[in-house]
Amino acid sequence: MPIFAAMKTWLDISSNSDFSIHNLPFGTFSHANRKKLGVAIGDYIIDVSNFSQEKEFPFSEDEKYVFSQKTWNRFMQLGKEKHLILRGFLQDQLTSEGSCLAKNKSKYLVRQTEVEMLMPINIGDYTDFYSSLEHATNVGKMFRPDNPLLPNWKHIPVGYHGRSSSIVISGTNIIRPNGQTIVPGQESPIFGPSKRMDFELEMAFVVGKDTLLGETVSVEEAEDYIFGMLLFNDWSARDIQKWEYVPLGPFLGKNFASTVSPWIVTMEALHAFKTQGPKQDKVLPYLQYSGKKSFDIHLEVGITPNGGNREIISRSNHKYLYWNIYQQLAHHTVNGCNIKAGDLMASGTISGPDKSSFGSMLELSWGGKEPIELSNGEKRTFIEDKDTISMRAWAEKEGIRIGFGDCVGQLLGQ
């Protein structure tokens, strides 16, 4: 029995499009010097800011103010019921040839090629987890071959609080950071540009509901607090990170930049792609769960050298994460830490079981010891100036594709 409702839109959409009628992700765009809220469909964006003024738009006049905002934060705070109403209304509009949207295509549909995509939310707090068993094991083997995983790793979703101010939208150039590094065999550090620039293939979820200080969110309740997901590249300066991370963890090696894709794919769009995650042990009761909590989302990383062609260097999957997003949120709030709509929580590097699925250059080149050879003859241990890193993500089943759009950034020298 098909898992997707039979829906056919009057809009011509390629079967390879990330943005089918089953997706309808949320974004913010600039068009004609105005910032607006939009929903992607095929090659177009529905101008929700303008469309919300139509009489049949299913929100009260008191609620419509949220669509005049420059981000989706206020809309998220209306709650899941309202999120579903908007999603259902837009699907109805896209399937009926007599709908208001169909009759006013030129007024409310904008081509994606004609806009500039902006940050879809005002990010409040940002947390980065370390939830891939394969990634944590690989990194541990490089530095602690006899004891790769630290004692706490299989007990808690390890994470750290990052810097939201340096999270940027896809297409933003990244400047190679300066910092302290240690030369092997030397006792004192030197200062200068990082020589070991890396990407981290991650996904992030957007909190869509507030809690009060002292409140907790259980694993089973967590889905009601998550608005959607997007792609996330946690740029990393490995040499700066290596020198600074003891004893308090990541700092300047991480907070200079992270790139996000422009479209938030809702949890409703991803529901059909839930799957079983890895078998867990040593998990305390508050982190235990039943049912399908992971997602079968294909992940891909490409590198484009200056003047060259894009080459895929990693293929992974969100389902490889040991700690799922619901466990991450439950652990984050178990001590009473309050969350707010617009908070962002990233997964940590998502690596799979074999080298082709490793989610960072650190792993792909095994700490720089095994260079990757590109088709043009160049080799890479880490990212060079003018290299462009592009990430893609999509879920696909029964001919239905739910994509996230590109997450792209070019590394520039100083």
The pLDDT of residue 145 is 85
Instruction: Render pLDDT for 125-148 as a digit per residue (tens, 0 to 9).
Output: 999 999 999 999 999 999 888 889
Angstrom CA distances, 218 to 204, 272, 285, 333, stand at: 19, 22, 11, 8
User: CA 176 to CA 225: how far, in whole Å?
Assistant: 36
Instruction: Render pLDDT for 107-124 as a digit per residue (tens, 0 to 9).
Output: 999 999 999 999 999 999
The pLDDT of residue 61 is 94
Q: Does domain 126-412 have CATH number 3.40.50.300?
A: no
User: CA 199 to CA 181: how far, in whole Å?
Assistant: 18
The pLDDT of residue 1 is 55
The pLDDT of residue 5 is 79
Percentage of the chain lying above the pLDDT 70 cut: 100
Classify domain 26-118 by CATH number: 2.30.30.230
Average pLDDT, the chain: 96
User: CA 173 to CA 222: how far, in whole Å?
Assistant: 34
Q: What average pLDDT does range 252-264 have in this prediction?
A: 98
Q: What average pLDDT does range 374-390 have in this prediction?
A: 97
Helix (H) and strand (E) counts in the chain: 10, 27
pTM across the whole model: 0.96
Percentage of the chain lying above the pLDDT 90 cut: 95
| Res 287 pLDDT > 80 | yes
Other beta carbons less than 10 A from residue 127's beta carbon: 21
The pLDDT of residue 71 is 98
Question: Where does CATH 3.90.850.10 sit in the chain?
Answer: 126-412
| Res 6 pLDDT > 80 | no
| Res 229 pLDDT > 90 | yes
Question: Where does CATH 2.30.30.230 sit in the chain?
Answer: 26-118
Residue 369 binned pLDDT confidence (cut-offs 50, 70, 90) = very high
What are the catalytic residues? 135
The answer to whether 174 and 259 have CB atoms below 8 angstroms apart is yes
| Res 413 pLDDT > 80 | yes
Instruction: Render pLDDT for 33-64 as a digit per residue (tens, 0 to 9).
Output: 999 999 999 999 999 999 999 999 999 999 99
Strand runs labelled E in 42-193: 44-47, 109-111, 116-118, 126-129, 159-161, 167-169, 174-175, 178-181, 190-193
| Res 237 pLDDT > 60 | yes
The pLDDT of residue 147 is 83
